[in-house]
Amino acid sequence: MAGPMREIQLIGRPDGVPTADLFESVQSPTLEPRPGTVLVENVLLSVDPYMRQLMDADEWWPLNTPGEGRALGRVLQSETPAYAVGDIVFHRQGWRTHAVVTPDESRRIDEAPGVPLSAHLGILGGTGLSAYVGLKRILNLQPGETLLVSAAAGGVGTAAARIAKLLGAGRVIGTTGSDEKAKHLVAEVGFDAAINYRRGDLVEQLAAAAPDGVDAYLDNVGGEHLAAAIDVLKQNGRIAWCGAVSTYNHQADVAPRNLFDIVDKELRLEGFLVRNHLDLRPELIDFLTPHLRSGAVTSDETVVEGFEHLVDAFLAMLRGENVGKMLVRL
């Protein structure tokens, strides 16, 4: 039997940095599965930087509605042979406690011994897949190469470091916003060096961390981070542009000051959307599952308890208060 059903709706548009008063928790209508659908009770929700962009336009996130977002839910009622009661399914109806989904817009999660369920929203989910696509398909990272990762303490950044090491990267360097995070990235995640970009000139810090230059850059920040990376990349270096979190609150320029240096250094810059590379998901799961089972790889995550704290978790993630993937456990 389903419990009380609630959803968090967007009730106003942000002007710069979002605030908690732009959201409202409301009781949602009682949901009943239709033929061909299932009713799920969400157990884990993901909050991600891209959601900030959705807040800006009615076509992406209409007012007085819950947002979309990656979620794991347990099937309470099934009106389709595709799912049985008790199955765990991945879907994209976050920001609510319950959802009705079809098999076409969801997929069953096959729980594996030794692999935490939360990993399917972290290193085995869209977060890890973003890192894997960037490293494997866009950058074609080669053994021995030096990789730079921005927003290194976030979900994509931590996954990228762990995957890069498995792919044979010679040196992995990350940028983050505090000394504490920088120490954690080296001691716990596997970065060879981590830079607090607030500590001084970013180009100088990167040059010191990679005196022979950088072969490949996975960009999650844009702006000055991208400009600094262009400065330290070797001739014919490569950039995979995954995100630009520094610009999401309209507080920084997207285009770097030295964009034309891409021509002079014959760099390759390619942006990508992970939704166009879902064919790599089975490969990622096969690649990482043995390492997760053995404990050689961890799905880095920060977990907030309680649906009522979903907005707090979202805003904290935008402030960079998480290490790894930010999740909410209902």
Please list the ranges in the chain whose pLDDT falls under 50. none
Say whether both 62 and 180 belong to one domain: no
Q: Which of 275, 292, 316 is the last residue in one of the domains?
A: 275
Instruction: Please count the helices (runs of H) and the strands (runs of E) in the chain.
Output: 9, 16
Say whether both 114 and 130 belong to one domain: no
Say whether both 79 and 138 belong to one domain: no
Residue 112: the pLDDT is: 87
Helix (H, G, I), strand (E, B) or coil at 3: coil
The answer to whether the CB of 72 falls within 8 A of the CB of 94 is: no
Residue 247: the pLDDT is: 67
Number of domains making up the chain: 2
Residue 192 lies in a domain: yes
Contacts for 237 with CB less than 8 Å, ≥ 6 apart? 213, 214, 215, 216, 217, 265, 267, 268
Tokens 């959307």 found at:
273
Helix (H, G, I), strand (E, B) or coil at 301: strand
Say whether both 86 and 185 belong to one domain: no
Residue 174 lies in a domain: yes
Say whether both 155 and 36 belong to one domain: no
CATH classification at residue 16: 3.90.180.10
Say whether both 50 and 114 belong to one domain: yes
Closest CA to 167 of 288, 83, 13: 288
Tokens 């009622």 found at:
77
Residue 189 lies in a domain: yes
103 class by beta-carbon count within 10 Å (0-12 exposed, 13-18 middle, 19+ buried): middle
Say whether both 139 and 220 belong to one domain: yes
Residues 58-87: b if buried by 16+ CB within 10 A, e if exposed: eeebeeeebbebbbbbebbbbbbebbeeeb
Say whether both 90 and 111 belong to one domain: yes
Residue 207: the pLDDT is: 96
Q: How far apart are the C-alpha atoms of 129 and 275, rounded to whole Å?
A: 9
Query: Which residues face 38 on adjacent strands?
Result: 78, 101
Residue 217 lies in a domain: yes
Say whether both 167 and 254 belong to one domain: yes
Residue 186: the pLDDT is: 97
Q: How far apart are the C-alpha atoms of 197 and 189, rounded to whole Å?
A: 18
Domain that holds residue 167: 126-275
Residue 249: the pLDDT is: 67
Residue 256: the pLDDT is: 78
Does pTM top 0.85 for this prediction?
yes
Residue 254: the pLDDT is: 62
Say whether both 177 and 70 belong to one domain: no
CATH classification at residue 210: 3.40.50.720
Residue 294 lies in a domain: no
Say whether both 144 and 268 belong to one domain: yes
CB half-sphere exposure, 29, CA atoms < 13 A: 5
Helix (H, G, I), strand (E, B) or coil at 143: coil
Query: Which residues face 101 on adjacent strands?
Result: 38
Say whether both 78 and 132 belong to one domain: no
